[in-house]
Structure 1
C-alpha cells in the first residue's frame, strides 16, 4: 500500500530544500565568487543532485534573481480590507511584509543586492525583474479595482508605484528601502496625482 505524504508536509519539505540550495549557493558565491561557482558545487554543498537543483531553479542566475518577497507582498495586499483605497492597500501590504522580515532575511537580501552590484549579467536581468514586478503588482491592483488583469488603469498605477519607490532608493546601500520610506512614497503619489489632475 502506498502512503501519500500530506500536502502541507510536502510543501514544507520543498521549502526546506529550496532554502538549503539557496543558502549553499550564497555561501559559495561569497567564498569563491559568483562566476567560479558551478551548479554542481551548489548541489553538492546543499546535499542534493544537480537535477534536483534544476527543479527549484532553472539556472544559477535564478538562485539570486528569485525574489521571495514579492509573492508575500501580493498576498498581503489581497488581505487588506476591501474598502481600503488601492494605494493605501499596496503600501500597507508592503509595510506589513517588510516589518515581519527577520534579521537573517534582511542579511540574505543584502547579499543578493551586493551580487546585483558586482555581477553585470545579474544586473542586466534585474532590469527584467522590474518589469515583472509591475506585472505582478498590476494583477493584484486590477483585482482590487474589479478590472481585467491587463487593464491600463491597473498597469499605470503599478508603474507609478514602482517608479516612485525607485526614486527613494538610497545610493550605496545594499538594501536601500527603509520602513520610513513608505510614508514618503505615499506623499509622493499624492503629489503626482495632484500635479497630473490639471492635465
Structure 2
C-alpha cells in the first residue's frame, strides 16, 4: 500500500475522531445546559478545538445532530449487487451501513437522533437532510440496472424509499427492524 493511501486513511480516521469528539461534547452540553443555551464557542472549548475548526466540520450548531448517513448509505446502494431492485438495493445498503457501525458509532447515532427528534430548532435541518438523501438516491438510481431510466421516475422511487425511512424512523433512532418491515411493504406494493 502506498504512503498516500496510508496517510489518507489516517487523515480520514483523525477527521472522524474529531467529528465524534465534537458531537460527544455537544451532546453532553446540550444535556447539561439545553440546546438553546449552548453556544458553538462552548462546544468548541469543550472539544478542545477552535470555533473555526467547529465550522469546518459543521455549518451550524444544529448540524451536530445530523449523523451524516446519507452519503455512506447511497454509496453502499451503488455497490449493491446489480440484480437487486431499487428497494432491495437500498435495504442491502442500510444493512451494510448498520452492520459497519462500531458500538461507539451506534451509540453516537442513537444519542444524536434522539436529540434531533426532540430539538424543535433541528426539524428544518432534518427535512433538508431527507431532501438531500432523495437527491443523492435519485442520482444513484439512474445507474442501477433495474431502475427506470427516466429521472422523474427515479426521483419518485427515491422519494418513496425516503418516505418509508421517515415513517419508520420518526422518534426511533436506528429503526432497523421497523425499516426492514416497511421496506418489505414498499417492495410488495411497487411490484404489483
TM over 0.5, shorter chain:
yes
Structure 1 residues 38 and 50: CA distance shift in structure 2, 3 A: same
CA contact under 8 A between 1:139 and 1:149: conserved in structure 2?
A: no
Q: What is the number of equivalent residue pairs in this alignment?
A: 188
Match of 2:7 in 1: 6
Please list every run of 5 or more consecutive structure 2 residues that lacks an aligned counterpart in the other structure.
none
Judge which range, 82-91 or 142-151, deviates more: 142-151
Compute the displacement of 1:44 (Å).
0.9
Tell which has more relative contact order, 1 or 2 (C-alpha 8 A, sep 6+): 2
d(CA) in 1 for partners of 2:189, 2:173: 26
Question: Scaled by the length of structure 1, what TM-score is found?
Answer: 0.80
CA contact under 8 A between 2:25 and 2:46: conserved in structure 1?
A: yes
SS in 2 for 1:7: helix
Compute the displacement of 1:118 (Å).
2.6
Question: Scaled by the length of structure 2, what TM-score is found?
Answer: 0.83
Match of 2:141 in 1: 141
Compute the displacement of 1:146 (Å).
8.9
Structure 1 residues 150 and 52: CA distance shift in structure 2, 3 A: farther
Q: What root-mean-square deviation, in Å, do the aligned CA atoms of Structure 1 and Structure 2 show?
A: 2.7
Match of 2:36 in 1: 35
Cα-to-partner distance string for 1:4-43 (whole Å, 9 max, x where unaligned)? 9933322222222222111111111112111111111111
